[in-house]
Amino acid sequence: MRHQRASLQELAEIAELRDTRERLDNEARDAQVVVEDLTAEQDKVDADVEVVKARRARDRNRMDQGLITNPKDLERMTHELESLERRIASLEDDEIEVMEKLEEAQAALDSLVAQRTAADERLAALTESRDARTADIDAQLDALAHERAPRAEGLPDELLALYDKLRAQKAGIGAAALRARQCGGCRLTLDNAELAQIKAAPSDEVIRCEECQRILVRTAESGL
């Protein structure tokens, strides 16, 4: 039961999901920075366009009002207006380019956030399932401990210690029945000399399998 508890299938998936979540979180943070930078860039280009447009409006206004009469000034003003138009066109191209980049960056960020949310939801479900199964196993362990206590009572401490040590080393099986001349732990068939030795041994002597070292329990079906 302890082995089961330590190797619940949820545990591996939870560990993997935590890594994934951390990666998504880092990527989302980077994507957020890109979105913020592009938003600032967009604001700046927007503001630049407004400044140039305001200047164009002021120049046009002065010309429309006939405030510029000197031909040289008029020529200069006309050139400036042309230059302002070119500047506005160029800035508006920049605006479109930044807007497209920002849309792309925002979509990438949205996708990462959605993936992170999905990972969080899956993690919550797995954690709930892990906790429920762990509680179930703990309850069974508790019941087994209660069942074991009276059975272990009166057994020599040394024998119990040996059994526990072997159980830890031998995949949970510290003692095996000797049945039809075979060790129930490693399935090795004992030879006649060994069997004769076991048969001659006092009933309270602890017999061990020579192959796997487990405690061998003699029964009526041992074939002795």
CB 201 within 8 A of CB 195: no
Nearer to Zn ion, 30 or 211 (CB): 211
- C-alpha to C-alpha distance for 48 and 128, rounded to whole angstroms: 54
180: left (phi over 0), alpha (psi -120 to 50) or beta: left
Q: Which of 35, 112, 209, 215 binds Zn ion (CB under 5 A)?
A: 209
Site string for Zn ion, 157-186 (x = CB under 5 A): --------------------------x-xx
Q: Which residues pair with 176 in a beta bridge?
A: 216
**Residue 36 CB neighbours (<10 A):** 12
Give the type of residue at 55. R
Nearer to Zn ion, 35 or 209 (CB): 209
CA distances from 62 to 5, 53, 206 (A): 85, 14, 115
Say whether residue 191 binds Zn ion (CB under 5 A). no
**What is the DSSP-derived secondary structure letter of residue 1?**
-
Figure out which of the listed residues 52, 175, 212, 215 binds Zn ion, where binding follows CB under 5 A.
212
* 45 is an interface residue for Zn ion by CB under 5 A: no
Residues of span 62-121 touching Zn ion by CB under 5 A: none
By C-beta, is 131 or 211 nearer to Zn ion?
211
Element (H, E) at 194: helix 192-200
CB of 215 to Zn ion, least distance (A): 10
- Regarding 195 and contact with Zn ion (CB under 5 A), the answer is no
Q: Which stretch binds Zn ion (CB under 5 A): 45-53, 92-100, 132-140, 205-213?
A: 205-213
Q: Name the residues that contact Zn ion, by CB under 5 A.
A: 183, 185-186, 209, 211-212
